[in-house]
Amino acid sequence: MRTSALLAAAAILAAVRLLLQIVVARLPARLSGQVQSQLREHLISAFLQASWSEKAKEKEGHLQELMGGQTYQSGAAVLQLANGLSAALMFLTLAASAFILSPGVAAAVLGTAVALFGGLRPLSRRVRNSSASTSAALVAQASGVAESVRMAEEVQVFGATETERSRISSLVQSLEMHIIRTKTLIAIVPVLYQGAVIALIVAGLAILYAVGTSRLAALGAVVLLLVRASAYGQQLQTSYQGLGEALPYLDRLTSTIERYLANAQRRGDRPIDFVRTVEFESVSFAYKPGLSVLRDITFSIRTGEAIGVVGPSGAGKSTLVQILLRLREPSSGRYLVNQVTAEDIDDATWQRKVAYLPQEPHLLAGTVAENIRFYRDWVGDDLIASSAKLAHIDSDIMTWANGYHTVIGQRADAVSGGQRQRLCLARALAGNPEFLILDEPTSALDSQSEHLIQESLEGLRGKLTLVVIAHRLTTIRLCDRVMVIRDGLLEAFAPAELLYGSNDFYRNAIDLAALGRPI
């Protein structure tokens, strides 16, 4: 009866132990998963808060790699820490038992073991350095692959497939070399540790044997405990090396997050009613200190005006547009809207008033309607339809299989260049902007699409303030006044007909444009 009760108790205890072990095993896994999620969310939110100049510097594939593999590796730090802690506890428990049995011997061997831990530190440092190189090689590979995907069409057309393959292959080989080095170091250190501890125990025993001891039985128990302790010591070393491997990934993540946050977009809080005046007061801008690409630019635009911006390539037109959009801040001088410093204007208000059509706009992988709405929940279906009509894309959409619900993608095969441009013009118009900025919307378009966009812009004239970088005569004709930017200077700013008589660059450009050449 007693035996069966004992057996039952043992069975219950075994079940409870199993259950506890499962719970305990889940803990580090959960913790690691949560740490990874938090790191990913911090990273993406820091990136989204960063200024455009910081975002524009981001190497392609870098952020994707950080969000994926690098965060996963960082999460391993938590697991290694948990393993290390449990090994350290077991190690200390066993060491304490050995201490009770024979303080002298245990202290001598443990002291040497700890010294060994210290002695192996240079190797641990090499693990960290090697892991940092692996992390960098992973980033380099991700950037290389991202470029490969972006350039896939050109690579195929120019017959560069083999060169591309060997370029990526050398990145893969370099990564392999770093992985092998890191993993070998990680495997070697605990083995060295274990080997040295055993050698020390044996050497210690040999010394004791040589000097002669009467307490052999107690010594046997101490040795047993120390051998077990050294196994935990090895586990501790393994975790320590694993941590050393994970930390460079964590370092890269945290330093990237810090860089984004240190370069966060300035947030404004001044409200404005509607865009009445847009002014530059002696604005200069330099990408690199001392190298101004815009110099001392002053102008004033009134509401409802259509302004053309012309100038040779590299003159600073796109930079000027980026400042107008508040994507970049002047290095000196002031950008004022309604006499308020533009950067101080409340962001939500500003974003509702300003819209932009870049030269090469991007499509989301989603439906036509989602592409026009572009995350703005307040843009209803009626606005989507009316802006599509204004942008002359509505009749094209109606011919697509599912109309506004047709799924189009980033590389949208179903959408031509001209249709993409008109879809993105609809996107820009869907928010009913007061200030619309366009970077030559008709360059590289077929004449039918060019004509349709011109018609749309014609319809918008006077209804909003328009600034357009113009490479075509037809676009210039829409403009009330034209700015000529050359070498970062505002050379002239006047109605087109006056400029023809007074500005050499403009006259030459228009004469060439009349022959069908872009300005």
The answer to whether 471 contacts ligand ADP (rule: CB under 6 A) is: no
Q: Pick the closer one to ligand ADP by CB: 233 or 441.
A: 441
Our CB check for ligand ADP shows the closer of 358 and 366 to be 358
What is the rounded CA–CA span in Å between residue 358 and residue 440? 8
Query: How far, in Å, CA of 153 to CA of 173, rounded?
Result: 25
Residue 486, H or E segment: strand 481-486
- Residue 486 binds ligand ADP, judged by CB under 6 A: no
Q: Which residue in the set 287, 362, 380, 463 belongs to the binding site for ligand ADP (CB under 6 A)?
A: 287
Work out the widest C-alpha separation in the chain, in whole angstroms.
117
Q: Which is nearer to ligand ADP, 200 or 483 (CB)?
A: 483
What residues pair up with 341 in beta bridges, in sequence order?
Answer: 336
Within residues 405-444, the interface with ligand ADP by CB under 6 A covers none
Residues 428, 467: Cα–Cα separation, whole Å:
13
Looking at 17-25, 240-248, 309-317, 430-438, which segment touches ligand ADP (CB under 6 A)?
A: 309-317
Answer whether 83's CB lies under 8 Å from 239's CB: yes
Q: Are 266 and 329 in contact (CB under 8 A)?
A: yes
**Does residue number 284 form part of the binding site for ligand ADP (CB under 6 A)?**
no
- Selected from 277, 318, 406, 443, the binder of ligand ADP by CB under 6 A is 318
3-class SS of residue 271: coil
Q: How far is the CB of 439 from ligand ADP (least distance, A)?
A: 8
CB 145 to ligand ADP: min, Å:
23
Q: Within its chain, how far is the Cα of 394 from the centroid?
A: 35
CB of 56 to ligand ADP, least distance (A): 6
Q: Are 469 and 480 in contact (CB under 8 A)?
A: no
Task: Quote the least distance from Cβ 50 to ligand ADP, whole Å.
Answer: 15
The reply to whether 315 sits near ligand ADP by the rule CB under 6 A is yes
Rank residues 127 and 509 by Cβ distance to ligand ADP and give the closer one.
Answer: 509
What sign for the dihedral angle of Cα 11, 16, 21, 22? positive
Instruction: Give how far Cα 24 sits from Cα of 20, 79, 87, 217, 444, Å.
Output: 6, 12, 14, 37, 62
293 binds ligand ADP (CB under 6 A): yes
Q: Closest distance between ligand ADP and the C-beta of residue 29, in Å?
A: 43
In angstroms, give the least distance from the CB of 440 to ligand ADP: 10
Spell out the alpha helix ranges (H) of 69-160: 71-101, 103-119, 121-150, 152-157
Least distance in Å: CB of 283 to ligand ADP?
13
Other beta carbons less than 10 A from residue 477's beta carbon? 12
Residue number with CB closer to ligand ADP (68 or 314): 314
Contact range with ligand ADP by CB under 6 A, out of 8-16, 28-36, 311-319, 330-338: 311-319
Strands 465-469 and 435-439: parallel
For residue 62, the minimal CB distance to ligand ADP (Å) is 16
Which lies closer to ligand ADP via its Cβ, residue 28 or residue 312?
312
C-beta pairs of 37-46 under 8 Å, 24+ apart in sequence:
39/71, 39/74, 39/75, 39/250, 39/253, 40/67, 40/71, 42/257, 43/67, 43/71, 43/253, 43/256, 43/257, 43/260, 46/256, 46/257, 46/260, 46/261, 46/264
Q: Among 127-135, 185-193, 225-233, 316-324, which window interacts with ligand ADP (CB under 6 A)? A: 316-324
The two three-digit tokens of residue 455, written as one number:
């018609």
Binding residue count for ligand ADP, defined by CB under 6 A: 11
Q: Residue from 204, 268, 316, 433 that binds ligand ADP (CB under 6 A)?
A: 316
DSSP string, 273-340: SS--EEEEEEEEEEEETTEEEEEEEEEEEETT-EEEEE--TTSSHHHHHHHHTTSS--SEEEEEETTE
Q: Which is nearer to ligand ADP, 174 or 318 (CB)?
A: 318
Among 62, 128, 317, 353, binds ligand ADP (CB under 6 A): 317
Torsions phi, psi of 400, nearest 5?
A: -80, 150
Piece of the chain touching ligand ADP by CB under 6 A; list 76-84, 105-113, 307-315, 412-420: 307-315
Q: Which of residues 37-56 bind ligand ADP (CB under 6 A)?
A: 56
Residue from 4, 214, 313, 410 binding ligand ADP (CB under 6 A): 313
Q: Judged by CB, which is closer to ligand ADP: 315, or 490? A: 315
H or E segment and range at residue 204:
helix 161-211
Q: Binding ligand ADP by CB under 6 A: which of 80, 319, 421, 465?
A: 319
With a CB cutoff of 8 Å and minimum separation 6, the contacts of 281 are 298, 333, 334, 335, 336
The Cα–Cα gap between 422 and 304 comes to 22
- Residue of the chain from 204, 242, 311, 431 that contacts ligand ADP (CB under 6 A): 311
Options 314, 409, 417, 495; binder of ligand ADP; rule CB under 6 A: 314
Binding site for ligand ADP (CB under 6 A): 56, 287, 293, 311, 313-319
